[in-house]
């Protein structure tokens, strides 16, 4: 297994809410990443991100690992939620907020036990 794949698995397992995106939340470098960030910020919880433009190995490997060809990719609780269209749709119909809140609450509980 490649070191890049190990890195991806570690990032996903260590971050309950993780967005693989182009750019950063403060400076998204594509419209789809910007929309995903807006939806996530609307949920009011902190989330981790990986700028795939600065990580070409991850950019190349993640689509194969996730079986999802495009970016951004939102991972919550170790599971792929989906890309921009799915994130925005879930936000608009009220499905994203409880998912994000639950992941953040679960993480806070686990950190409190440590």
How many separate domains does the chain show? 1
pTM for the complete prediction?
0.94
What does the block give as tokens for 44? 């009011």
* pLDDT single digits (tens) 42-97: 999 999 999 999 999 999 999 999 999 999 999 999 999 999 999 999 999 999 99
> What's the CATH number where 44 sits?
3.40.30.10
CA 82 to centroid of chain Cα atoms: 9
Establish whether the linkage from the previous residue to 6 is cis, with ω within 30° of 0: no
Burial of 7 (0-12, 13-18, 19+ CB in 10 A): middle
Asked whether residue 114 carries a pLDDT value surpassing 60, the answer given is no
Range of the domain at 68: 3-113
Instruction: Flag whether 84 is marked binding.
Output: yes
pLDDT score for 37: 98
Instruction: Flag whether 47 is marked binding.
Output: no
* pLDDT single digits (tens) 30-44: 999 999 999 999 999
Confidence of residue 107 (pLDDT cuts 50, 70, 90): confident
Question: Which residue is associated with the tokens 């951004």?
Answer: 72
Instruction: Flag whether 32 is marked binding.
Output: no
CB atoms within 10 A of CB 56: 10
Instruction: Flag whether 71 is marked binding.
Output: yes
């Amino acid at each position: 297994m490649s070191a890049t794949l190990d890195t991806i698995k570690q990032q996903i397992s260590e971050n309950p809410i993780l967005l693989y995106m182009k750019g950063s939340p403060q400076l998204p470098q594509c419209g789809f990443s910007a929309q995903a960030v807006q939806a996530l910020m609307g949920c009011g919880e902190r989330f981790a991100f990986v700028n795939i433009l600065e990580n070409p190995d991850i950019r190349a490997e993640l689509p194969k690992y996730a079986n999802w060809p495009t970016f951004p990719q939102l991972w919550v609780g170790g599971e792929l939620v989906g890309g921009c269209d799915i994130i925005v749709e879930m936000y608009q119909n009220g499905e994203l907020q409880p998912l994000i809140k639950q992941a953040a609450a679960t993480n806070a509980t686990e950190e409190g036990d440590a």
